[in-house]
């Protein structure tokens, strides 16, 4: 542990990137206004709107100070694409003289003690980049039986993922757990001194946080996991369908395989050898759907989508998952 972290005064920007989700952003702002503040820190919150017009500016400027006294700032980033918005937030944090940059998504809310836990996790580690768990928020509307099955299965899936991360973190002070920008804290010197940025060539694909994480690891930096800093993702009804879950998995599979092919070019060809085995696996999953409370259905969407996305990557296709926004 770096001892000067424990008593160092920290300047922090807590940022979220948004595009045409006014109701969700409002819920996030309410949770920001209720969050406890870590000691010996200057904190401000920042909304980066990634759009061609400042649609959210009136909402943000109407409440320049949140209920807990934290300043709320707004900037418009007109260059379309998530990495441009993320990098704009990093540049704003650097211009503000901040030590740490924190990200959450605009479709999330944060636990009251979230930021305190996040900063404590950073202070009590040697990591320069850390992630935390994302849990599924309760539904706000009545769901159909199919939507309920997918929603409940997603909760169980997240619980398993969270447990695996906890187990990895318990075994190592430098665990290999990808820090995603849905619950993310990092030192701003990664940008200013190490010149590590979100890859703007991946405009709409997603996966730029994974690539940045891999770059940080490749440079020999320590990364970490903060198991008790919780955020809660709201799932719009449109996401609770087999089609959406398949499409999301397809795009994630495409991103991950494009990154893998950079490190292992031969995987572009060996992926096709897996087709017969995958067909058998998916057939068995399909047959088990009536007996698994939606788990097999969700697994079928994810496994078939992921494999289809990998095949697409091998054939030269790139994901455009974030070109269209879902939410409200």
Mean pLDDT taken over the chain: 93
Q: Do 96 and 150 belong to one domain?
A: yes
Domain that includes residue 40, residue range: 4-238
Beta strand 71-77 pairing with 231-233? unpaired
74 within 8 A of 60, measured Cβ to Cβ: yes
Asked whether residue 105 carries a pLDDT value surpassing 60, the answer given is yes
pLDDT digits (tens, 9 = 90+) for 281-315: 999 999 999 988 878 999 999 999 999 999 998 99
Q: Do 228 and 250 belong to one domain?
A: no
Q: Do 182 and 297 belong to one domain?
A: no
Domain final residue, candidates 223, 238, 253:
238
pLDDT digits (tens, 9 = 90+) for 175-233: 999 999 999 999 999 999 999 999 999 998 888 999 999 999 999 999 999 999 999 99
DSSP 315: T
Task: Name the CA radius of gyration of the chain, rounded.
Answer: 20
Using 50, 70 and 90 to split pLDDT, how confident is the model at 69? very high
Q: Do 197 and 282 belong to one domain?
A: no
Q: Do 209 and 249 belong to one domain?
A: no
Q: Does the pTM of the predicted model rise above 0.85?
A: yes
Q: Do 148 and 164 belong to one domain?
A: yes
Instruction: Count Cβ atoms below 10 Å from residue 27 Cβ, excluding itself.
Output: 18
Using 50, 70 and 90 to split pLDDT, how confident is the model at 38? very high
Q: What pLDDT does 152 receive?
A: 95
Residue 223 CB contacts under 8 Å (≥ 6 apart), including other chains:
127, 128, 129, 130, 131, 174, 175, 176, 177, 179, 213, 216, 217
Using 50, 70 and 90 to split pLDDT, how confident is the model at 326? low
User: Residue 187 to residues 3, 90, 93, 97, 100: CA-CA distances in angstroms?
Assistant: 16, 10, 10, 12, 5
How many angstroms separate the CA atoms of 195 and 112, rounded?
Answer: 33
Residue 99 CB contacts under 8 Å (≥ 6 apart), including other chains:
8, 10, 11, 12, 187, 188
């Amino acid at each position: 542990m770096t001892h000067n972290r424990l008593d160092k005064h920290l300047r922090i920007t807590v940022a979220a990137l948004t595009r045409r989700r006014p109701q969700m952003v409002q819920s996030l702002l309410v949770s920001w206004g209720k969050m406890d503040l870590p000691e010996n820190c200057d904190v401000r919150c920042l909304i980066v709107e990634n759009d061609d017009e400042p649609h959210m500016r009136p909402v943000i400027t109407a409440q320049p100070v949140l209920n807990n006294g934290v300043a709320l700032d707004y900037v418009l980033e007109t260059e379309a694409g998530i990495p441009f918005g993320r990098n704009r937030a990093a540049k704003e944090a650097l211009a503000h003289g901040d030590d740490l940059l924190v990200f959450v998504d605009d479709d999330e809310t944060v636990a009251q003690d979230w930021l305190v836990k996040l900063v404590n996790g950073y202070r009590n580690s040697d990591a320069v980049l850390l992630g935390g768990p994302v849990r599924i928020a309760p539904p706000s509307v009545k769901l159909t039986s199919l939507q309920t099955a997918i929603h409940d299965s997603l909760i169980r899936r997240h619980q398993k993922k969270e447990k695996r991360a906890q187990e990895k973190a318990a075994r190592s002070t430098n665990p290999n757990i990808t820090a995603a920008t849905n619950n993310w804290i990092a030192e701003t010197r990664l940008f200013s001194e190490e010149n590590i940025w979100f890859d703007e060539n991946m405009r709409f694909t997603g996966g730029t946080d994974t690539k940045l994480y891999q770059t940080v690891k490749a440079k020999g930096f320590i990364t970490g996991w903060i198991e008790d800093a919780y955020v809660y993702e709201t799932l719009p009804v449109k996401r609770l369908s087999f089609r959406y879950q398949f499409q999301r998995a397809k795009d994630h599979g495409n991103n991950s395989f494009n990154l893998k092919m950079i490190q292992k070019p031969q995987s572009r060809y060996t992926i096709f050898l897996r087709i017969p085995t995958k067909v058998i696996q998916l057939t068995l999953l399909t047959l088990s759907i009536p007996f698994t409370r939606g788990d097999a259905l969700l697994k079928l969407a994810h496994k078939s989508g992921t494999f289809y996305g990998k095949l697409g990557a091998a054939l030269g296709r790139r994901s455009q998952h974030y070109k269209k926004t879902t939410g409200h």
